[in-house]
Every structure is written in structure tokens, then in C-alpha cells.
A and B are shown apart, each in its own frame.
Chain A
Amino acid sequence: MGIEVNNLNAWYGDLHAIKDINLNIPKNQVTALIGPSGCGKSTFLRCLNRMHEVIEGARVKGEILVDGEDIYGSNVDPVTIRYRIGMVFQKPNPFPTMSIFDNVAAGLKLNGMRNKKKIREIVEQSLEAAGLWDEVSDRLDKNAMGLSGGQQQRLCIARTLAVNPEIVLMDEPTSALDPISTHKIEELVHRLKENYTIVIVTHNMQQAARVSDNTAFFLNGEVIEYNTTKHIFSNPSDQRTEDYITGRFG
């Protein structure tokens, strides 16, 4: 089962950033969120794993069903939600005082895993899955800041995968990277959807077209149009969507 968003609203203080959004995000597919800067893509994404509310003054109203269960239900602990729904950020943010190994293991340790052998196994699997193992297997104990930007971002993806989430959210994961690193991450996204449901924010239209199965076009905190990526890019129903993807504004 995927994610079902019902009447979602989000605020920063008085700023109404997300306005009554309804969206069904299918399982094991890649869903792209596109739209001009400041339209609420990141805010929406952060509502999906209850990261929005860690900002002072931020508020959410509405319902988000994951596997049929409302993650905003009154007896739901946001911590367990974030454990199940991983997030990769715009700028790579490895823990700078930790080694490559410890970065990937960080989430496991946070969640109480102590079995060294198991941790080692999962770290290796996660680095494999993030397509980074071959590049770092001989220097796992080295500081993570020695990696290139693209490698750091894949390290962050490995760190996210290590806690075995069902859903992976990515907020413009390649916007700080060079074309080759971007390409690697796009390939990775493509491979990952076999095991994970992926929601990716991008303001690169080509990227959305390349990696996603569905695309939602955001404008001023609202979803203007949501459909298969093919449909959105070949035959958008809304004039504003067409204007945006053809580069006439935004």
C-alpha cells in the first residue's frame, strides 16, 4: 500500500504553506514533486514523515495514511514514523565527526542495535544498495567528510536505507551535485523503487521525466495537477502546468 494524503494543510506560524492537498502515492513507484521555488514542495515532503513539526511554530492538519494507518493519529509517535519513512536532504549532511562506517550505522545504533556482526552486515548491504560500496570498502574507518559531494549524498542515502524504511523521501537530492554524480543518483533511484516507495522533489524537469512514474505539479501550496509522468509531460490538462514544464515561468 502506498501513501494516501487527505485534506493536508500546513503552516509556518501564520503562513499557510500547504493548502488542502489530496494525493495518492502508489507503492514501489517514484513520484516526483515539481513546481516553482517556494511553492511548498519541501514542506509537503516534510509533512510525509512528520519532519515539518520540528520547526518552531510549524503546524499540520489533515490525514496521511501509510498502509492504511494515519501517521498523524493521536497515539502515533513521530519518532517511529521517521524511522519507517526515511529522508534524504538537498545538501549532503553526513555526520562530520564520524567515519563512513559510523555514518551508515548511526541510525541502527539510535534504534538500539548492538550486534556488531549484524551492524557490519547491514552497513555493507546499505552501501551496496547505494552504489557506494566499491568506492569506499577500503576506507570505511575514514572520516566521511573526505568523500566528494556526490559520494556524500550516496552515503546519506545508504544511511537512510540502513534503517530499512518502507518509504524514502528525497528533497532535491542532486541540486548540489555535478552531472555525473546526478546521473549516478538517478540510476540509484530507478533501482531503489523495486524495494521502496520513493517521493522525490526536483526542480529539474528532465530529471522528473527521467526518473519518475508520477508527477505532481505544485503552485502556491496547492497541487494543480497530478498524473502519470508521461501524461503530465506530453499532454498536461492545466495551462499553468504546461507553462511551467515548457519553461514559460518559474
Chain B
Amino acid sequence: MNIRFGDRLFKIVAYIFGALIFILFLLMIAKLYQGSSATINQYGLSFIFNSEWSPYNDEFGAWPFIIGTVISSLLALLIAAPVSIGIAIYLVEIAPRWIRTPVSFLVELLAAIPSIVYGLWGIFVLAPFVRNHIAPIFTETLGTKIPLFAGPSYGVGLLTAGIVLAIMITPTIASISREVISTVPNSQREAAYALGATKWEMISTSVLTYARSGILGAMIIGLGRAIGETMAVTMVIGNSPEIPKSIFDPAYTMASVIANEFTEATSNLYVSALIEIGLLLFFVTIFVNVIARLLVWSVSRGTQEVK
């Protein structure tokens, strides 16, 4: 009797909290939408694809920020994914037990470093390094033919932001991939071994194919982090609202422009433009995260089937 009452109470409270989250979520969208009504009315959908951003002329388009966000995040993913998956494979499949725990801990510690510290490191260490050592390698070779790798490099820019972001999302991708890989049943590894697979063949045949959608999910969660990251990127990307032509060009991201310009936004339209960028950012991150969850969920369902 008592237990049943407690059960029911708990259920009701849980429902209330669940509903609360949903309501908050809708409220946020509504509020952002309301705040950006000025630009939505003035530009409609063309706000997204307009690449002109000059507050002095009251001209607002989000395209440079969308491009900057997408490219810096994809660059980060391109760098972080192989490294993170390598770390995850090493930790689950190769490292002896006494190395596993401290290294996992260290990787997760990377995630705990405040992003401003990454930003400082990016400015004072990485940016000069990119300018003096990494950029010349590309600009003097590939850069002479492919504009994507052409110089000059000012240090700050897309590539520097991509590298900083890559380091920041590596712990995320590595630790989720590690979890996914450790859910691969041993029977799958044994199946490959028993057919005469070497360790590497076993990893590629059994482990990676089994875990692939989960690893993809981890990558997308990492991408989501990169898309939303603000502080460190703002410090190293160069903050220039132009469409970048080379990976060494300065650029701007959606999160950075909001952080940088919100305090100086004087006109109604300016504020509204920034809020609409916030709304777009909100949708992009939700979209990316939903896809990631679905992928991870599909792999865990796969695990049950095999049981």
C-alpha cells in the first residue's frame, strides 16, 4: 500500500520533471524566435544564405558564420576522428590493464580543461607554430596549385581553430568510442581469431564493423561539441566575417559572432540578427545530436539482437 503510493508519487514527480524539460526547450525556441522577429521579417530565408555582414550598413547575413562553423568543425573532426578512434582501440584492445586506467583518466582530464585555457594555448603556442611551421609546408607545395591551401597565414585562422577544436573534442570521441568498443561481445573477437585472423584483422573484421555505427555516433557528438564551442574558437579563428578561401584564412563562427558582438549590437536589427544566428545554431546542434543518439541507439539495439 505504502510502497504503491510512493511508486505513484515518484512516477508523477518524474513526469513533471520530464515535461518541464520539454517545456523549457519549447520556451527557448519561442523566445529565440521572438527575439529574431526583426530579421526574420526583413530577410526571411535569405538571411541564411546572405554572405554580407556589415552592421554599419545595417546589412546582415549569416552565411559567413555558417560556413566558418561548418568548416572549422569538419576540419576538427577530420583531425580528431582518426586520433580518437586510435586511442579507443588502443585502450580496449591493446593496452595492458595497468596502462588502461591512467591513460583513460588522462584522456578524460583533457575534457575538463576550461576552454579559455585552450584558447590561450592556441594564441600563444599554436598560432605562431601554424604560421611559421605548418603553413609553409602547404602554401609552398599544394598551395601553389590549390587555392584551398594557399597563403599567407596570419597564425590565427580556420586551420588553427580546427586544430584547437580537434584537441578539445578528442576526449569526447575517444571516450564514447572506447565505451562502444567495449560493448563488442568477446564472442565476436573469438569468431575472427578462430578463422585465423591476426590482431589487426580481428579488430577490423569484428570490432570496427560491429561498433561502426556507435563510433559514427561518437564522431557526430564530437562534431556537435565543435559546432557549439565558443571561447577557444573566438580566440584563434581571426573573427573575420568573410567567406574563407583557404584553410589559413581567418573566419568567424556562429557562436563566436554572438559572443563577440552582442554587447556592441546597438540597433534592433543587429540584435535580432545575432539572436537568429543563435536560433540557427540551436537547430544545427539539436539536429546533429539527434542523429548521433539514433546511431548509438541502433548499435546498442544490435548488441541485444546478437545475444
Show the binding face of A for B, using Cβ within 8 Å: 49, 51, 54, 56, 79-80, 82-84, 86-87, 89, 91, 93-98, 106-107, 110-111, 145, 156, 159-160, 163
B192 touches A110 (CB 8 A): yes
Q: A96: which of B190, B196, B205, B210 is its contact (CB, 8 Å)?
A: B210
Question: Beta-carbon contacts of B280-307 to A below 8 Å, as 1s and 0s?
Answer: 0000000000000000000000100110
**What total count of A-B pairs have CB within 8 Å?**
75
For A111, what are the chain B residues with a Cβ–Cβ distance below 8 Å? 195-196
B306 touches A96 (CB 8 A): yes
**Can you offer 30 A-B residue contacts whose CB atoms are under 8 A?**
A51-B193, A56-B97, A79-B196, A79-B198, A80-B196, A82-B195, A83-B195, A83-B196, A86-B194, A89-B187, A89-B190, A89-B191, A89-B194, A91-B187, A93-B185, A93-B187, A93-B306, A95-B191, A96-B188, A96-B306, A97-B209, A97-B302, A106-B192, A110-B195, A110-B197, A111-B196, A145-B306, A156-B191, A160-B194, A160-B195
CB distance from A148 to the nearest CB of B (A): 13
Of all chain B residues, the one with the shortest Cβ separation from A90 is B187
Of all chain A residues, the one with the shortest Cβ separation from B196 is A83
For A84, what are the chain B residues with a Cβ–Cβ distance below 8 Å? 196
Question: Beta-carbon contacts of B195-212 to A below 8 Å, as 1s and 0s?
Answer: 111100100011001101
Given A56-B97, A110-B201, A145-B305: A93 in contact with B190 (beta carbons within 8 A): yes
Count of chain B residues with a beta carbon within 8 Å of a chain A beta carbon: 24
B191 touches A93 (CB 8 A): yes
- Residues 204-249 (chain B) with a chain A CB within 8 angstroms: 205-206, 209-210, 212
A110 touches B196 (CB 8 A): yes
In the complex, what distance in Å separates the CA atom of A80 from the CA atom of B96? 24
For B187, what are the chain A residues with a Cβ–Cβ distance below 8 Å? 89, 91, 93
